[in-house]
C-alpha cells in the first residue's frame, strides 16, 4: 500500500490520499454488489487498488477501484466498446464507486517474459492490428491529437525545455498534424507497453487501456518506445529497423507511418515527463528522441 499511496499522491494530491481512506468502504460495497468472495489484495498496483476475487456469476475476477477521474471513465467506456476482443473483458462496472469488475487473465505473464525481441514485436503487432476500432460515436474518449497539442503548447509556454528539445518536439508536432488531417479516428488502447500485454490461456491480451482516439497506426508507438528503452544504445537502430519492418508488414502500413508513430509518441511522452519531473534526468529520453527523429527522416526520404 505504501507504493500505492506515493503514486496516488503524485497523481491526485491530497484528494487522492483522502480517497484511499475510502477504499475499505468502497471494496465492501463492491463485494455486496457483485457477491464476491475469497478477496485477496494484489501485490502489484499502479495508481489503482487491485484485488483478486471469486464471483458466483463470473468465476475468477479482478476488482479494480480507481480515483474518480476522466482517465478512469475513459477506460470504462473504451472497455465497453472493445468488448473483450484482444483485451481484458469488462464484466461490469459502477461509475459512482469508480469500480470495474474484470475477467482474470491467467497465467498473466507480461510481454517482458518473452526472451526473443522478434517474438515480442510480432505479438504486439498482432494486438495493434486487432485492437483499433473505427470510432463512430460521441463520448468521453479524448482525441490523442488534442492531448498532444495541449502538451506541446504547454512545453513552450512554461519554458521547461531547451531549444533542441523544442525543435524536435515541433518536428513531431508537424508530422502529427499532417497525418491527422482527413484520417478517420479509431478507438485506441493508448498505452500498449510490455506490462499491459498479458498471456491468457489461448492468446495474449491487453489490459489497462487509456482510451484515446486517433489514427489506427498510432497504437504502435508506445510499444516501440518501450522496447527501445529496453535496448542497449549500440543496438537501438537495429531494433528500430526490426520493429518498423514487422509492424508495417503485419499492419499493412508504410515504414514511414510506423516510424512516425514512434517519433510522435516519444515526443509526447517526453513532454509529459518534463511537466511531471521538471528537468529530471531526461538525457536518455532526449537521446532516443533524437535517434527517432533521424530514423524517421531516413524513412521519409526512402519513400519520397
pLDDT at 158 over 90: no
Q: Looking at residue 277, what is its pLDDT? A: 54
Q: Looking at residue 181, what is its pLDDT? A: 84
100-114, 149-163, 243-257, 260-274: the lowest-pLDDT one = 149-163
pLDDT at 195 over 70: yes
pLDDT at 83 over 90: yes
| Domains of the chain, CATH where assigned | 2-103 (3.30.200.20), 111-303 (3.90.1200.10)
Please provide residue 50's backbone torsions phi and psi, each rounded to the nearest 5 degrees.
Answer: -120, 135
Question: Which are the contacts of 118, defined by CB distance < 8 A and separation ≥ 6?
Answer: 242, 246
CA nearest to 179, candidates 259, 60, 86, 64: 259
In this structure, which long-range contacts are made by residues 147-152, counting pairs with CB atoms below 8 Å and at least 24 apart in sequence? 147/212, 147/268, 148/173, 148/176, 148/264, 148/268, 149/173, 151/268, 151/271, 151/272, 151/275, 152/267, 152/268, 152/271
Q: Looking at residue 154, what is its pLDDT? A: 85
Q: How confident is the model at residue 230 (pLDDT cuts 50, 70, 90)?
A: very high
Q: How confident is the model at residue 212 (pLDDT cuts 50, 70, 90)?
A: very high
Q: How confident is the model at residue 279 (pLDDT cuts 50, 70, 90)?
A: low
| pTM summary value | 0.94
Q: How confident is the model at residue 303 (pLDDT cuts 50, 70, 90)?
A: confident
- Do 240 and 228 contact (CB within 8 A), yes or no? yes
By the 10 Å C-beta count (0-12 exposed, 13-18 middle, 19+ buried), 44 is classed as exposed
Query: Residues 53-81: pLDDT tens digits?
Result: 999 989 999 999 999 999 999 999 999 99
22-36, 93-107, 184-198, 270-284: the lowest-pLDDT one = 270-284
Question: Which are the contacts of 53, defined by CB distance < 8 A and separation ≥ 6?
Answer: 31, 36, 37, 38, 39, 40, 60, 61, 62, 63
Query: Residues 126-146: pLDDT tens digits?
Result: 999 999 999 987 667 999 999
Mean pLDDT of 259-283: 84
Please provide residue 64's backbone torsions phi and psi, each rounded to the nearest 5 degrees.
Answer: -115, 120
Alpha carbons 174 and 153: distance in angstroms, whole number: 12
Q: Looking at residue 157, what is its pLDDT? A: 73
pLDDT at 99 over 90: yes
Mean pLDDT of 167-188: 92
pLDDT at 278 over 70: no
157-166, 215-224, 239-248, 250-259: the lowest-pLDDT one = 157-166
Q: Looking at residue 42, what is its pLDDT? A: 94
Mean pLDDT of 166-177: 95
Amino acid at each position: 500500500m505504501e507504493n500505492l499511496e506515493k503514486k496516488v499522491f503524485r497523481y491526485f494530491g491530497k484528494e487522492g490520499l483522502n480517497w484511499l481512506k475510502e477504499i475499505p468502504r468502497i471494496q465492501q460495497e463492491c463485494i455486496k454488489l457483485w457477491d464476491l468472495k475469497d478477496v485477496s489484495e494484489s501485490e502489484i498496483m499502479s495508481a489503482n487498488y487491485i484485488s483478486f476475487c471469486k464471483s458466483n456469476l463470473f468465476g475468477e475476477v479482478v476488482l479494480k477501484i480507481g480515483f474518480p477521474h476522466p482517465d478512469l471513465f475513459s477506460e470504462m467506456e473504451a472497455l465497453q466498446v472493445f468488448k473483450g476482443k484482444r483485451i481484458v473483458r469488462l464484466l461490469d462496472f459502477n461509475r459512482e464507486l469508480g469500480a470495474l469488475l474484470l475477467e482474470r487473465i491467467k497465467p498473466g505473464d507480461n510481454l517482458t517474459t518473452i526472451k526473443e525481441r522478434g517474438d515480442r514485436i510480432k505479438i504486439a503487432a498482432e494486438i495493434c492490428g486487432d485492437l483499433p476500432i473505427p470510432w463512430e460515436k460521441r463520448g468521453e474518449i479524448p482525441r490523442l491529437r488534442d492531448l498532444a497539442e495541449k502538451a506541446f503548447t504547454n512545453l513552450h509556454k512554461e519554458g521547461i525545455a531547451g531549444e533542441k528539445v523544442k525543435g524536435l518536439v515541433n518536428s513531431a508536432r508537424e508530422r502529427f498534424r499532417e497525418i491527422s488531417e482527413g484520417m478517420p479516428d479509431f478507438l485506441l488502447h493508448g498505452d500498449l507497453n510490455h506490462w499491459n500485454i498479458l498471456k491468457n490461456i489461448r492468446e495474449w491480451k491487453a489490459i489497462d487501456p487509456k482510451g484515446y482516439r486517433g489514427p489506427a497506426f498510432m497504437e504502435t508507438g508506445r510499444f516501440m518506445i518501450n522496447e527501445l528503452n529496453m535496448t542497449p544504445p549500440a543496438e537501438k537502430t537495429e531494433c528500430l529497423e526490426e520493429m518498423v519492418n514487422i509492424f508495417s508488414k503485419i499492419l499493412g502500413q508504410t515504414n514511414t507511418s510506423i516510424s512516425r508513430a514512434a517519433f510522435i509518441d516519444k515526443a509526447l511522452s517526453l513532454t509529459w515527463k518534463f511537466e511531471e519531473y521538471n528537468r529530471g534526468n531526461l538525457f536518455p529520453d532526449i537521446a532516443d528522441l533524437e535517434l527517432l527523429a533521424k530514423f524517421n527522416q531516413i524513412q521519409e526520404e526512402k519513400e519520397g
